[in-house]
Amino acid sequence: MENQNQTFVTMFFLRGLAAYPIFYSVFSLLSLIMYIMILVGNSFLITIIILDSHLHTPMYFFLSNLSFLDICYTSSSVPMIIVNFLSDEKSISFVGCGTQMFFSLALGSTECVLLTVMSYDRYVAICRPLRYPIIMNKELCGWMAASSWMTGVLNSLVQIILALHLPFCGNNVIDYLTCEILAVLKLACTDISLNVIIMVISNVILLVIPVLLIVISYAFILVTILRINSVEGRKKAFSTCSAHLTVVTMFYGTILFMYMKPKSKDSHATDELIALFYAVVIPMLNPIIYSLRNKDVKAAVKKLSKSIFSQTT
């Protein structure tokens, strides 16, 4: 028994959605198409924001950070998901698993903070419009964006170091599509109370508190919008934050549904499909949501198109 406890795991096998092998090809094709759309859509949005000086504002600065984050987040997991759908072995090295966990957790945590920062930006824009350029200056925006990334990296670093120092007793089959930290912790053959405590604290800081701050921000925004006399003014104020509110609803709605819905024996496959939606569909929809109803982005796209057309002719 002692020798078994000292078995060093060098590889994990991912057995996510093992009950639906006939759909692997379909899942792989859909994931590939959506991944390409994520890369193209978010890269295009970042390019538009960089090239058009009218979009050099705090709102679009944070949006470009979100688009870059979505590209990085999906790139840390989706290519491997696609490969594993088509592969018979479906394996990943111990180091590779730790690396994937680190980036996935770091980028997911960063997005929680970044969406909160973006809600504060909308709060200042709607509720303090005259002081907006003073409050949301370049220094503060840069500091808020950097803090979002550093918070995500620090949270991930702490949790991953604690997780990878756990002993694994030979059980190396992860019943999940990726190296999700909770799935990996289940394989440890020792007490994981410390890991659970750190994770709970992290969830409070990076999930509960951000949700509360976002709700408070939008409560003030709603009150301010209702005080606007003109219907046109209300529509304009609401349009500036409707895209962000939609993204926040999808992002946190998916997380809360996955972790707060009643558990059952048949819920695991549902959890994996929800996780796939969270990892692929939401990053794909973000640039669409932020551009379809955004007059500034549409104007920037038209301006860039005209510039390219005039140069070619």
Asked whether residue 311 is domain-assigned, the answer is no
Asked whether residue 180 is domain-assigned, the answer is yes
CB burial readout 222-243, b (16+ within 10 A) else e: eebbeeeeeeeeeeebeebbeb
Beta bridge mates, 168: 188
Asked whether residue 149 is domain-assigned, the answer is yes
Q: Tell me what pLDDT residue 68 has.
A: 95
Handedness of CA 110, 115, 120, 121 (dihedral sign): positive
Q: How many domains does the chain have?
A: 1
Asked whether residue 66 is domain-assigned, the answer is yes
Distance CA 279, CA 269 (A): 15
The residues of the chain scoring below 50 in pLDDT are: 1-6
Q: Tell me what pLDDT residue 250 has.
A: 84
- Domain housing 269: 11-300
Asked whether residue 309 is domain-assigned, the answer is no
Q: Tell me what pLDDT residue 1 has.
A: 40
Q: How many CB atoms lie within 10 A of CB 7?
A: 14
Distance CA 178, CA 81 (A): 7
Distance CA 162, CA 192 (A): 9
Q: How many CB atoms lie within 10 A of CB 195?
A: 20
Asked whether residue 1 is domain-assigned, the answer is no
Q: Give the domain CATH number at 42.
A: 1.20.1070.10
For the CA atoms of the chain, what is the radius of gyration? 22
Asked whether residue 199 is domain-assigned, the answer is yes
Asked whether residue 312 is domain-assigned, the answer is no
Q: Tell me what pLDDT residue 4 has.
A: 45
